[in-house]
DNA sequence: TAGTAACCGAACAGATTGTTCAATAACGGC
DNA sequence: GCCGTTATTGAACAATCTGTTCGGTTACTA
């Protein structure tokens, strides 16, 4: 059976397909991309594609998974500088992989990705917040909901940033982010009305 | 040519198609729904469909448009009770059209809708905020970005609400929403760091 | 009631999807 | 470097979907 990830040929195929998809994502929407488009761009045989992935969605999530793994590494490395929210690290990591993120997050993107991304980011945030609140404390807003709020605010700012104001630095974006988000988070964690 | 919106037959056709789509959206994702599915469910001829809409997306946006129009009306009616953010009115309106919103906003939804909804809500919010800040004041966060932040936080909470915690009342949800969002908004409008 | 307008439904070309299979090429352990 | 193993190829396949056309039928409305 095909799909051995260690074989050099397999790696090559997977790399070509991933690159082709990323390229195409910068040209048009995901649902406007056919498997045939990917095959043509990657110059890969039809049967080979289906030996590796079950669908174009499968390929997409494989790429997304790689990216999120790298993101997670980045966060954990920087965890020494434990701010209340690790947002600056996120913004920096994204700036470093701009092209892919632009393709994934902005106009060419699609709902499942944004959703998946938001969930992953929410988990990171929740993990961070949980360490700052006693386990048995009752909050006015459940922690998962609060984390989801932070993640969604994060992504919305990301879209604005990547789509339009590419001149802002990660630090500038982070400052804006924190000014909008942090007061609310503090308010909830403090238990104030 | 077909498509006269006043003719009773046209109205019937459009209603049947819209209902069929909403029904199907509660069963599966939009991109998993074919025109054929809609025709079967609505019991409408293929050519008739294309006489009214250019595609299933067209039908979808027509439905979404109706909904947002009704939402806009609802907001404007309630504008007497000018809170800082008209969020409670939004939550109430949504509770009143739960089924459709659940179909549109939650797991069965798709990116273009969420995006469109967010933009529309952001516009409502921006309109509201603009009246509270002098025209020439420079804010640490541009008003459109701030409005986008509010809208995205709103939608994220909406998803949590409609998908899981359906027992919360609009008032409860609104309280949580404001606790998370309002401090940040005030901070930006006040010009504080 | 009569003319107009919408609906039907079958049929069409073109594109897409996911699978199969035998032939070919490349890999990597020995 | 040899050779068995494994991946890739490319063509062909049925099945589905899309958007359009057109002659005939039905139902509205003036």
Size of interface A-B (CB pairs under 8 A): 94
What is the model's pLDDT at position B110?
47
Q: What is the pLDDT along chain A (193 residues), one digit of tens a residue?
A: 565 667 899 999 999 999 999 888 878 878 889 999 999 999 999 999 999 999 998 998 888 777 777 776 776 666 555 555 666 776 777 767 666 666 666 544 445 556 666 777 788 788 878 878 887 788 999 999 999 999 899 888 887 887 776 788 888 888 999 999 999 999 999 875 5
CA distance B189 to chain A (A): 10
Q: Is B154:B121 a contact under the CB 8 Å cutoff?
A: yes
**Are B25 and B33 a contacting pair, CB within 8 Å?**
yes
CATH fold for domain B8-53: Arc Repressor Mutant, subunit A (1.10.10)
Given this model, what pLDDT does residue B52 score? 95
Question: Of the candidates B106, B97, B119, which has an alpha carbon nearest to the alpha carbon of residue B29?
Answer: B106
pLDDT at A18: 92
The verdict on A89 touching B (C-beta cutoff 8 Å) is no
On the 0-12 / 13-18 / 19+ scale of CB atoms within 10 A, B104 is buried
Q: What angle do CA B60, A103, A60 make, to 5 degrees?
A: 80
Query: Above 50 in pLDDT, residue B108?
Result: no
Spatial distance between the Cα atoms of B193 and A176, rounded to a whole number of angstroms: 10
- Chain B residues within an 8 Å CB radius of A181: 149, 184
pLDDT on residue A105: 62
Each domain of chain A, given as residue ranges in start order, spans 8-53, 63-190
């Amino acid at each position: 059976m095909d799909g051995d990830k260690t074989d050099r040929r397999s790696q090559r195929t997977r790399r070509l397909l991933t690159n082709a998809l990323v390229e195409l994502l910068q040209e048009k929407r995901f649902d406007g991309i056919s498997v045939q488009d990917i095959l043509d761009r990657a110059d890969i045989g039809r049967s080979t594609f289906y030996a590796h992935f079950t669908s174009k969605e499968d390929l997409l999530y494989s790429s997304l998974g790689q990216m999120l793994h790298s993101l997670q590494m980045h966060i954990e490395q920087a965890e020494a500088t434990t701010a209340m929210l690790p947002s600056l690290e996120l913004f920096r990591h994204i700036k470093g992989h701009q092209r892919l993120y632009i393709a994934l997050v902005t106009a060419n993107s699609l709902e499942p990705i944004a959703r998946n991304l938001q969930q992953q980011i929410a988990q990171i945030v929740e993990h961070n917040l949980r360490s700052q609140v006693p386990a048995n404390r009752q909050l006015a807003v459940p922690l998962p909901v609060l984390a989801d709020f932070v993640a969604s605010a994060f992504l919305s700012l990301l879209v604005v940033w990547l789509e339009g104001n590419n001149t802002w630095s990660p630090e500038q974006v982070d400052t804006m982010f924190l000014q909008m988000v942090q007061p609310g988070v503090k308010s909830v964690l403090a238990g104030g009305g």
